[in-house]
């Protein structure tokens, strides 16, 4: 990994942690933060926003991606996620984006785009969701 990409990983993870602090997750008590880096250098954050009608909850990754796209059409070059309370000691199976978010991520991330997960894990988009659904019209 180059020192430049190491730097963007650290900055993005910090942004995801900062977003997580504003998580609205009174029902699950499971805060998640996400941060998206665009080619134009801008960073957009998202956190999970829950609702009393549970199914209306929106995950941190989607909030971050939709916020980024709303502000700029620049390409997504990396995404970072920070999952759970700091002292939670979650199993690694919990330290990954959900399936719905993977499909949404695959719409905006190239197959080789990196996803950094707080706690020193890293995936490519293709590792997280091979054979993602594409609409050919
Ligand atoms: N959550 C996310 O924000 N991202 C994911 O990829 C997995 C789950 C949120 C949704 C809900 O608020 C809480 O985590 C527990 O599922």
Q: What is the pLDDT of residues 96-124, one digit of tens each?
A: 999 999 999 999 999 999 999 999 899 99
Atom of ligand 1 nearest to the CA of 48: 3
Q: Provide the total of helices (H) and of strands (E) in the chain, helices listed first.
A: 4, 5
Q: What is the pLDDT of residues 8-64, one digit of tens each?
A: 899 999 999 999 999 999 999 999 999 999 999 999 999 999 999 999 999 999 999
Q: What angle do CA 77, 58, 120 make, to 5 degrees?
A: 45
Does residue 63 line the site of ligand 1, with CB under 6 A?
no
Domain containing residue 33: CATH number: 3.40.140.10
Does residue 115 line the site of ligand 1, with CB under 6 A?
no
Domain range for 90 is: 3-128
Catalytic residue selected from 50, 61, 86, 107 = 61
Atom of ligand 1 nearest to the CA of 23: 12
Q: Can you state the angle between helices 99-108 and 60-71, rounded to 10 degrees?
A: 20
Strand 32-38 versus strand 76-83 pairing type: antiparallel
Return the SS3 of 49: strand
pLDDT at residue 66 greater than cutoff 80: yes
**How much is the pLDDT for 36?**
98
In a domain, 134, yes or no: no
Q: What is the reported pTM? A: 0.96
In a domain, 93, yes or no: yes
């Amino acid at each position: 990994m180059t020192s430049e990409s190491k730097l963007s990983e650290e900055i993005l993870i910090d942004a995801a942690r900062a977003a997580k602090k504003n998580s609205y997750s009174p029902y699950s008590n499971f805060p998640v933060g996400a941060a998206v880096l665009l080619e134009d250098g801008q960073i957009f954050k998202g956190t999970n926003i829950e609702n009393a009608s549970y199914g209306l909850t929106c995950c941190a990754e989607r909030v971050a991606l939709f916020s980024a796209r709303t502000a700029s059409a620049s390409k997504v070059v990396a995404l970072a996620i920070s999952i759970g309370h700091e002292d939670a000691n979650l199993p690694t199976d919990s330290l990954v984006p959900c399936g719905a978010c993977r499909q949404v991520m695959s719409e905006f991330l190239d197959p080789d785009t990196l996803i950094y997960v707080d706690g020193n894990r890293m995936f490519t988009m293709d590792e997280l969701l091979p054979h993602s659904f594409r609409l050919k019209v």
